[in-house]
Amino acid sequence: MAARKKVTVIGGGMTGGAIAQRLVEKGIADVVVQDDPQFAGSLHHGKALDMMQSASWLGFETQVTATDGWEETAGSDVIVCTAGAPRKPGMSREELLNGNADIVRAKVTDAAKASPNAVIIMFANPMDAMCHVALKASGFPRERIIGQGGALDTARYRAFLSMATGVSVRDVHAYVLGGHTDTTMVPIVSQARIGGLPLASFLTPDEIEAIVARTMKGGAEIGQLMKVSSAYYAPSAATVEMVEAILLDQNRLIPSAVLCQGEYGIQDIVCGLMCQLGAGGIKKAYESPVSDGEADKIRAAADATKNLIADLK
């Protein structure tokens, strides 16, 4: 019997815990939650034990454990890095830059040493810039450092379109490219379809514009409502879809942040593209057909990330 796959989740906070729970219940991999007791105490150990005690009723055979170190993470197939400070209400993702860069740099360096063949999915904000930190810290190729922002932003975009039209979200085919900030994400309108029909068949231009604006502020809206934390239900669901696509070699097309190599004229800057995810990470990154205005916004998102990278210490 082949050994189960292994996923390490770095960071045992609300998002890390939710990712671990969703993964264990899917039964596709054992999960190790890694965190620093200096900051997390024994919280990640408690969460792992609590999850394992749910197995008798939920019926999963996969294992979830917690560790303060890295030995237990060795040989991971996928590593999800949620480490870093979350956004507080009113805070931009950019404000987290250098503090989170220090954390990500240290965590990714250790994780990559323990699992040199892993795919790393970046969650920490500002996510596009943190992908650059992870690329440098790990030495991994572009295919194995992936930002999850596009998957999350796409989930929000589709949800808002479903809510506005009254059509099942399963029939909403729309996606978000560009950056993962309130000002640089690009919800694509030109190619969005609901049951194969363009958005204009359901919504007025003003209604579409309002949904685009709400999508771009989707994380901030959740933060303002929750008060004491940032989102974790939708982020964990989006991330687990990516992990599953990689572990099971599903060849899924999921908007993901990747180091661009000429797409939309962008070179060596991480930006959100439509990517095919499967074994080994990103199998192919696509330059999706978009309007001229949307392409300009995607390039502007890359420029904004380039400016953030210049501010890294």
Tell me the C-alpha distance between 190 and 269, whole Å. Answer: 24
C-alpha pair distances (Å), 132 with each of 55, 250, 290: 38, 26, 25
Q: Among the options 44, 45, 132, 180, which is catalytic?
A: 180
What the block records as the tokens of 52 is 């394992």
> What single DSSP character describes residue 2?
P
Question: What is the longest distance spanned by two Cα atoms in the chain?
Answer: 57
Tell me whether residue 180 is one of the annotated catalytic residues: yes
Q: How far apart are the first and last CA of the chain?
A: 47
**Exposed, middle or buried by CB within 10 Å (0-12, 13-18, 19+), for 136?**
middle
- Sequence-ordered list of residues with C-beta below 8 angstroms from that of 22, at least 6 positions apart, any chain: 236, 237, 240
- Which of 155, 152, 122 has its CA nearest to residue 137? 122
Is there a contact between 243 and 78 (Cβ–Cβ < 8 Å)? yes
Q: Return the active site residues.
A: 180
